[in-house]
Amino acid sequence: MISLHPQKEFVFPIIAEGINPDVFQDKNRGEIEELEIWEGNKQKKLGELFKVKETGTEPQQEDIAIVIYGDLSRVRRIGAWMKGGEITINGNVGMHLGEEMEGGKITVHGSVGGWAGSMMKGGIIEIHGNASHYLGAAYRGSSQGMNGGRIIVHGNVGYEAGAYMRKGLMKIYGSVGQFAGFRMHNGTIYIQKDCEGRVGACMKNGKIVVAGFLESVLPTFTIESIRKKVKIGEDDVAEGPFYRFLGDLTENGNGKLYVLKEENPHLSTYERLL
């Protein structure tokens, strides 16, 4: 196991895609300390910014574990493109955590900046605090969002969670901002608490489940039925009843939006359309 401790309080952004189990593979502590890392516009060595400690024997690929302590809110791209191993962060962390990751697991005991899990293809990201905007979303100018894996957030999430999502599972146990599932093509988003408006805007397919209060349903969605329960994952079912809406009709979409009936009495007027 490799543990990292910041040598100081960071003032400038730290670009740290090198903090990655794949990069650390087959390297000793000295070699890890020599890895390149950027502090603002200056190139540094990892050992200049982090104290590196190594415990245990030399790990195999599937056993690589990195544990990081401290405030990393200015540190970006940790775990980007990772394919295996595990990263545990004890503190807050900055933008682009686990972007385009393909495997392994990242666990954060704190909150996370924007674009966490953006365009990820596999693996697991679990956040025990809040996540900012664009969770699992596509980069600006791209139409490929989250394309596999799982993101679990125990706190709240900002705008455009799951934008352009293609595949995978996103479970949010807190509240979510506007435009969740924007232009979603497939996959599942589960929101346990309240959700702001414009959910599923321009979605083509996929499933969004809102188990809390939803401000409003877009007029480009049509009510289709009331369901007793909804399947979330392989072995996970949300008990209803849920209103089931289909849309977004402006995109000829066949997305499914489930909204818990008990928490949304203002949507009862849709029942006359069934």
Copy the structure tokens of residue 55: 């415990």
pLDDT for res 141: 87
Q: Beta 207-210 vs 222-233: how paired, if at all?
A: unpaired
pLDDT for res 59: 45
60 pLDDT higher than 80 = no
pLDDT for res 103: 97
* Angle value at C-alpha 96, between 132 and 143, nearest 5 degrees: 90
pLDDT for res 180: 98
pLDDT for res 63: 66
Q: Residue 176 gets which letter from DSSP? A: B
Residues β-bridged to residue 238:
230
pLDDT for res 233: 84
pTM over 0.75: yes
Work out the average pLDDT over 61-87: 92
58 pLDDT higher than 90 = no
Mean pLDDT across the chain, nearest whole number?
95
pLDDT grade for 57, boundaries at 50, 70 and 90: low
pLDDT grade for 129, boundaries at 50, 70 and 90: very high
62 pLDDT higher than 60 = no
Residue ranges of alpha helices (H) inside 34-154 are 46-49
Copy the structure tokens of residue 20: 């990655």
Q: What is the pLDDT of residues 133-188, one digit of tens each?
A: 999 999 988 999 999 999 999 999 999 999 999 999 999 999 999 999 999 999 99
